[in-house]
Structure 1
């Protein structure tokens, strides 16, 4: 995946340029990054591209840890809950 597609607003790139950035700030940037991706798209290919580009030599940077944690989390697609989920629980 191209970096321009993996990081459309350049948020991750900029996080690596901020000296003294904290873990909490990286998490906030990660949330903004995730919300900037196309709806319904998978995050795993983008995360792989970002880690491959920015991670080497920056293993201790807090954003590297946040990206790796994002990759370890399962992709959640579709809605959870709502009326349909409650009806299924009742029927069982």
Structure 2
């Protein structure tokens, strides 16, 4: 994967350039970034590439958001309820 595929609009890059950016602002930018990826893009690989390329400070709010995204994406999805969960078989 190339960097232009991982950050097509440059949103992650720009977030690192904003002085005093907050965690909430980084999460909002992250959502916009996730929605801007092409269908079928490996989001976890894109997050990892953006983190490796742009992050110079591990304490930067965007670095924390990306790192959390990589670890959360690694978890297998779990069932969260629905009719089958409420009705015994």
TM-score range, shorter chain: 0.7 to 0.9
TM-score (norm 1): 0.77
TM-score (norm 2): 0.80
RMSD: 2.2
What's the offset of the Cα at 1:91? 8.9
What's the offset of the Cα at 1:14? 0.4
> Deviations 1:50-70 (Å, cap 9, x if unpaired)?
111012x31111000000011
SS of 1:58's partner is coil
What's the offset of the Cα at 1:32? 0.2
2:60 is matched with 61
**Does residue 5 in structure 1 map to residue 22 in structure 2?**
no
Q: Measure, in 1, the Cα distance between the counterparts of 2:63 and 2:8.
A: 18
Q: Measure, in 2, the Cα distance between the counterparts of 1:43 and 1:75.
A: 11
Contact 2:12 2:30 in 1 (8 A): yes
Give structure 1 stretches of 5+ with no counterpart: none
**Does residue 50 in structure 1 map to residue 77 in structure 2?**
no
